[in-house]
Structure 1
Amino acid sequence: MARIHCAVALASDSSLSLPPGAARHVQVLRMQPGDALTLFDGTGGEYAATVERMGRSDVEVRVGERVAVEREAARAIHLAVGMPANERMDWLVEKATELGVAGIQPLMTAHAVLRLSGERAEKKRTHWEAIAIAACEQCGRNRVPEIHPVQTFANWLAAQSGDSPRFILSLAEGTRPARELAQNDFRHAWVLSGPEGGLSPIEEKDAISRGFVPLSLGPRVLRAETAALAALAFLS
Structure 2
Amino acid sequence: MRTPRLYTPQPLPLGQTIELEAAAGHYVGKVLRMQEKQEVILFNDTGTQVSAHISNISKKIVRVLISAQLKAPKASLLYTHLGQVMSRGERMDYAIQKATELGINEITPLYSSRCEVKLDHQRQIKRLAHWQQIAISACEQSGRIDVPLIHTPQALSTWLENTSAEVKLVLHPHETRPLEAQKAPLSCALLVGPEGGFTLEEVEQAHAEGYTGLSLGPRILRTETAPIAALTLLQYVWGDLSPRLTEIQDK
Q: In terms of mean alpha carbon deviation, does 89-98 or 42-51 score higher?
A: 42-51
- Matched with 1:221 is 220
Asked if 1:118 is matched to 2:121, the reply is yes
Q: Which of residues 14, 33, 36 is equivalent to 1:33?
A: 36
Equivalenced residue count is: 232
Q: What is the DSSP-based 3-state SS (H/G/I as helix, E as strand, rest coil) of the residue aligned with 1:230? A: helix
Q: What is the DSSP-based 3-state SS (H/G/I as helix, E as strand, rest coil) of the residue aligned with 1:224? A: coil
- Matched with 1:11 is 13
1:163, CA displacement in angstroms?
Answer: 5.0
Structure 2 unaligned regions, length at least 5: 236-251
Q: What's the RMSD between the two structures over aligned residues? A: 1.5
- Listed one character per residue, the Cα deviations across residues 5-43 of structure 1 (whole Å, up to 9, x for unaligned) are 112122222110111121111112111110111011143
Query: Within 1, Cα distance between the matches of 2:187 and 2:197?
Result: 24
Matched letter for residue 180 of structure 1: E
Query: Within 2, Cα distance between the matches of 1:48 and 1:106?
Result: 34
1:113, CA displacement in angstroms?
Answer: 1.0
Q: Which of residues 54, 59, 66 is equivalent to 1:56?
A: 59
- Matched with 1:84 is 87
Please, what TM-score do these two structures have when normalized by structure 2? 0.87
Q: What is the DSSP-based 3-state SS (H/G/I as helix, E as strand, rest coil) of the residue aligned with 2:76? A: coil
Structure 1 unaligned regions, length at least 5: none
Query: Within 2, Cα distance between the matches of 1:212 and 1:63?
Result: 47
Query: Within 1, Cα distance between the matches of 2:216 and 2:109?
Result: 21
- Matched with 1:180 is 180
Q: Is the 8 A contact 1:46 1:66 kept in 2?
A: yes
Query: Within 2, Cα distance between the matches of 1:43 and 1:98?
Result: 19
Please, what TM-score do these two structures have when normalized by structure 1? 0.93
Asked if 1:155 is matched to 2:158, the reply is yes
Q: What is the DSSP-based 3-state SS (H/G/I as helix, E as strand, rest coil) of the residue aligned with 2:228? A: helix
Q: Is the 8 A contact 1:77 1:235 kept in 2?
A: no
Q: Is the 8 A contact 1:4 1:25 kept in 2?
A: no
Matched letter for residue 176 of structure 1: R
- Listed one character per residue, the Cα deviations across residues 75-103 of structure 1 (whole Å, up to 9, x for unaligned) are 11111011122110011111111111111
Identity of aligned residues (%): 36
